[in-house]
Amino acid sequence: MIKSIKENWGRFIILFGFWTLLTNSLHPQQVLVGVICSLLVVLFSVSFRLPERSRMRLTSKIVWWLVLYLIILIKEILLANLAVARILLKRDMNISPTISRFHSGLKTPLMKVLFANSITLTPGTLTLSLDDDVYLVHCLTEKGAYEVAEWPLKYWLQTVEKEGKW
């Protein structure tokens, strides 16, 4: 147990820092609860770590690609919010719920799941299942069903995958 704490002190510091930001207090009681909660999360999460062979080696180039991915994802989420609001505010509410099935071409489980979660985070789409490389996605409109299969974020993740040293 002590070995786990020594190996994960960085995670503990980040969690405790986040706790401190959320509570906005250095009262001894708040600090004690923050230390206990952060410690418990670190101890429980140790068993959930990926095996060494499945981890991506983070280089500055990969971090840069992932930061750009996050910025583009936020932009896509905002645009999708506007599109869904436009659909819902019209009198005829022109929706055509459609289920789309497609392959992403992504190779690693991490990138596949990141792509599936990005789809689900975007309003108007929901990833129903991910089986190997087959995505089953529910879309609010038929147009969205065609667009989700060729979503530009998929190509960003493919680039990160190529750059990564797996």
2 — pLDDT class (breaks 50, 70, 90):
low
Domain spans in the chain, listed from the N-terminal domain onward: 2-49, 56-163
Tokens 């910025």 appear where? Answer: 71
| pLDDT reported for residue 88 | 86
| Predicted confidence (pLDDT) at residue 84 exceeds the cutoff of 60 | yes
pLDDT for 55? 60
Q: Please compute the mean of the pLDDT values over residues 59-65 and round it to a whole number.
A: 80
- pTM for the whole structure: 0.68
User: DSSP letter string over 85-137?
Assistant: HHHHHSSS-----EEEEEE----SHHHHHHHHHHHHHSTTEEEEEEETTEEEE
Q: For residue 145, what pLDDT band results from cuts at 50, 70 and 90?
A: confident
3-state secondary structure of 161: helix
Question: What pLDDT score does 64 carry?
Answer: 84
Q: For residue 57, is pLDDT > 60?
A: yes
